[in-house]
Structure 1
Amino acid sequence: MKNGLFWGIGLLVLAGCSSAPPLFTADGRPTMQVSCNGGGDWSECERRAKVACGDGGYDELTRSIKSDQQTLYLACRRSATTY
């Protein structure tokens, strides 16, 4: 029982340490990152970004490649009715 409690508390502490505050664009839109393995082809990251943002689309902020991991940083566009 003590061992399980110890591990549970430890996981909660680690979870709190690994989360970062959300970042926002200058116009207040939250940003997100989409990661994928593509070997130079960005189509999988772009597909995931389209799914995440829906019909409104997204604005690409930057791309990065580290080892075999590709990351696309983006902000979803707002629909015309939210302005």
Structure 2
Amino acid sequence: MDDLIKMVTDRVGIPQDKARSAVELIVGQLKSRLPGPVGSQIDNALSGGNGGGLGGAVGGIGSGQQQQQQPGSRERH
């Protein structure tokens, strides 16, 4: 989780304590709204386990980059 907090601090430009609070709030909300196994995967990803793709999933936050749509996927509004 420290990597994600550092990413938020660097890209959004907020102090580390505020970034930590924001990340903890968001992770808590995700885990409370998603099925149990998905919540476990979030914990695994944040602890540096097999879910190492989490950084890439949020890598565009605050950078002004838009992700390209994958072929065959649908854009949601």
For the criterion TM > 0.5, the same-fold answer is no
Q: Which structure carries more helix by proportion?
A: 2
Structure with a larger share of its residues in strand: 1
Q: Which structure's CA Rg is the greater one?
A: 1
Band the TM-score falls in, shorter-chain normalisation = under 0.3
TM-score, with length taken from structure 2: 0.25
